Amino acid sequence: MNTILKVSGLTKKYGTKTVLKDVSFSVERGRIYGFIGENGAGKTTAIRTITGLSEADRGGIELFGAGDKTGILNGRRKMGCLVESPILSMNDTAADNLKMQQLLYGKDDEVKIRKLLERVGLGDVKNKKVKDFSLGMRQRLGIAIALINDPELLILDEPVNGLDPMGMVAVREVLRSLCFEDGITIVVSSHILSELYQLVTDYIIISHGEIIEVISKEELDKKCSSYIVIETEQTSKAIKVLEGCGLRDVETDGFQIRIHDDVEQKEVARIMFDAGIFLTQITRYEKSLEDHYIELLGRR
């Protein structure tokens, strides 16, 4: 895999409060990363540090294989970002806003502006002023602005925050298209886990300033597959019986037994009945991303 962003040991304090604690993770080219954490977990601080809007007290980053000051500066020129809310000129049109951003890069390309507006679903707004845009339209314009310099890496902080369901769907489809059709690697932070689950290929989970897990969607799906929970006062005997029947993916916390093997509830009930084991509970659960996240926080 091709690592285009590597974060190593980032630590950041505001006064006596440590908001980032030895944060480390890597981002591979061509994937969409969901940066997950509760409000105040450190997502925005980490993003501000990566994008150069803030300085870490300790640790560093590498962009496109470079970790020196000049290399990072050049790497940031290949990065687009939307941190918190987009800064827009409300009395101008979407095209005017993009033109102003282009001028910062010394360019003037109206064809590209039209293509960008089409790409984010704003091709028909014409002379409508940004102050008359919906929140979703402003967010999509913010994404267009982040794309104005043809970035290879796009970093977005809460791009769907405050959007209605249709606005979320629109932004999601834009991001999927940018990654899988244009090859732009994306890091998107959010606390709306159900929305991220439909978008990302990987998860970076942070809580109280610390990375608690980095996991691919494929790995998470395996962990979040359905499982059967049984409760009995004969836990040790029940585990031996289940393993004796060929069930291998069995775990217990001492009170409940979780069976992750592909087996039906009624088959488990029959096995326990034949062994003379009385069950006080037998239930099938579907573990979601939210369940996994809450479980991680609980373990922490």
Structure tokens at 109: 């390309």
Strand blocks (E) in 64-219: 79-82, 153-157, 185-190, 202-207, 210-216
Domain 3-216 has CATH 3.30.470.20: no
- Of 69, 67, 56, which is closest to residue 23 (Cα–Cα)? 56
Structure tokens at 18: 């440590």
pLDDT in tens, 178-208: 999 999 999 999 878 888 888 999 999 999 9
Query: What is the CATH superfamily name and number for domain 224-299?
Result: Reverse transcriptase/Diguanylate cyclase domain (3.30.70.270)
Position 299 confidence tier, pLDDT thresholds 50, 70, 90:
low
**pLDDT, average across residues 9-33:** 95
pTM of the prediction? 0.79
Same fold, 3-216 and 224-299: no
Give the domain ranges of the chain.
3-216, 224-299
Only one residue has tokens 């981002």, namely 27
